[in-house]
Amino acid sequence: QIYLASTTAPVNIAVIKYWGKRDPKFNLPTNSSLSVTLAQSDLRTHTTASCSASYKTSDSLLLNGQDQDVSGARTQACFRELRSLRQKLEDSDSSVPKISTLPLKIVSENNFPTAAGLASSAAGFAALVRAIANLYELKEDPTDLSRIARQGSGSACRSLFGGYVGWQKGEQQDGSDSFAYQVAPASHWPQMRALILVVSAAKKGVSSTTGMQTTVATSSLFPSRANETVPRRMKEMEKAVQEKDFETFGKVTMMDSNSFHATCLDTYPPIFYLNDVSRAAIKVVESINAAAGKIIAAYTFDAGPNAVIYYLEENEKEVAGLFKAAIGEKDGWGVERGQKLDANSA
């Protein structure tokens, strides 16, 4: 007998960036962060989790057809937490099949470049955790699951919710208060769009995990970012989302992306995620906003050169139209189209 469950999880793109860990073991961040979950079906991870006594191997994970190492602490932490929740169900009710000890087989597909700074680990671990939670018929809510997904990859905790999502850094040493929460559902501000500019689909040079550790250890700009700038911006951003104030949303988004990349440059040895094409995208956004006389487009970059441009549907022509006309598909740019947000809470 094979027990099986499937799910998909969308990517999320942070407008206040998570960068820095206060505890690598529990994967706890030095600052809170806030993101927007993208709903488009080709920016999702689809994952099937199954378990069976007939599986000869131990736990396995196949990502885009390739066998992955599951012995890493991150994946193990997720498996362990989910198994222990299932075990509790089995212990409390003898009619619940005892499947928590069976080997797990996880099969995942990404429809976008893996590790190119397109939040693939976010969708990946969110889908992995939810697929196993479904397989085990766990009653835990998205908040509880976000606490588990966080241990797989920090940004993954935010992909358990749709719309506008915060991740509070928490104060506890065991991470019990470090989880994601919904700031507002996508339906609150459904006009929001995200344009993904694929500058490069190549794997990123410095992984976020390694990069942020080096930043924490060496950057002198980092403490003020984590302790002063981000806490202030979290409040401004939550208010901007509540009030559907795009000018503030856009300005804070761009400034926080710049602040994050400044700490990367201030890291020793320095980390460069942006390239000339990224900088050209920033210039295009600046000229769009200058022509409009206000902020109608906002760029943000994760740990790679690809740009995500947020804008409102009413400015589709001025923003997405201009990017497509100016750049099209040439010079290594791929314009992915405006992504609609997730209407449901994932």
In this chain, which stretch among 1-9, 13-21, 92-100, 321-329 interacts with ligand DP6, using CB under 6 A?
A: 13-21
Residue 218-237 contact track with ligand DP6, rule CB under 6 A, x = bound: --------------------
DSSP 345: -
Residue 138 Cβ vs ligand DP6, minimum distance, rounded to whole Å = 23
263 touches ligand DP6 (CB under 6 A): no
Q: How far is the CB of 50 from ligand DP6 (least distance, A)?
A: 25
The answer to whether residues 300 and 257 touch, using CB atoms and an 8 Å cutoff, is yes
Distance in angstroms between the alpha carbons of the first and the last residue of the chain: 30
Cβ proximity to ligand DP6: between 136 and 167 the closer is: 167
Residues with Cβ < 8 Å from 104, sequence gap 6 or more?
49, 50, 51, 59, 60, 79, 132
Which residue's CB is nearer to ligand DP6, number 278 or number 289? Answer: 278
Q: Which is nearer to ligand DP6, 31 or 100 (CB)?
A: 31
Decide: is 209 part of the binding site for ligand DP6 (CB under 6 A): yes
82 three-class SS: helix
Q: Least distance in Å: CB of 253 to ligand DP6? A: 12
How crowded is residue 129: how many other Cβ atoms within 10 Å of its Cβ?
A: 33
Amino acid at 66: Q
Task: Give whichever of 302 and 342 is closer to ligand DP6, judged by the CB atom.
Answer: 302
Segment 121-140, which members bind ligand DP6 (CB under 6 A)?
121
Binding range to ligand DP6, per CB under 6 A, among 151-159, 184-192, 240-248, 278-286: 151-159
Strand 60-63 to 104-110 pairing: parallel
In three-state secondary structure terms, 16 is strand
- CB nearer to ligand DP6: give 114 or 191: 114
Contact 16, 239 (CB under 8 A): no
Distances (CA, A) of 302 to 4, 65, 122, 155, 259: 34, 26, 12, 11, 12
Site for ligand DP6 in 152-181 (CB under 6 A): 153-155
Which residue, 76 or 209, is less far from ligand DP6 as judged by CB?
A: 209
The beta strand positions in the chain, using DSSP E, are 2-10, 12-16, 21-23, 28-29, 33-37, 44-52, 60-63, 66-68, 104-110, 164-167, 180-184, 192-198, 297-301, 307-312, 334-339
Q: Which residue of 9, 10, 11, 17 would you call a contact of ligand DP6, by CB under 6 A?
A: 17
Could you tell me how many residues of this chain bind ligand DP6 (CB under 6 A)? 14
CB 204 within 8 A of CB 303: yes
Q: Least distance from C-beta 1 to ligand DP6, angstroms? A: 35
Closer to ligand DP6 by CB, 125 or 136: give it.
125
Determine which residue in the list 302, 320, 335, 342 makes contact with ligand DP6, applying CB under 6 A: 302
Q: Which amino acid is at 113?
A: P
Measured CA to CA in angstroms, residue 120 lies from 35, 44, 69, 325 at distances of 14, 8, 17, 28
Q: Does 33 bind ligand DP6 (CB under 6 A)?
A: yes
Q: Candidates 1-9, 10-18, 44-52, 134-142 — which segment interacts with ligand DP6 by CB under 6 A?
A: 10-18
Question: For ligand DP6, which is the closer residue by CB, 154 or 250?
Answer: 154
Q: 142 or 166: whose CB is closer to ligand DP6?
A: 166
DSSP state string for 105-156? EEEEEESS-TTSSSSHHHHHHHHHHHHHHHHTT----HHHHHHHHHHH-GGG
Which residues contact ligand DP6 (rule: CB under 6 A)?
A: 14, 17-19, 27, 33, 121, 153-155, 208-209, 302-303
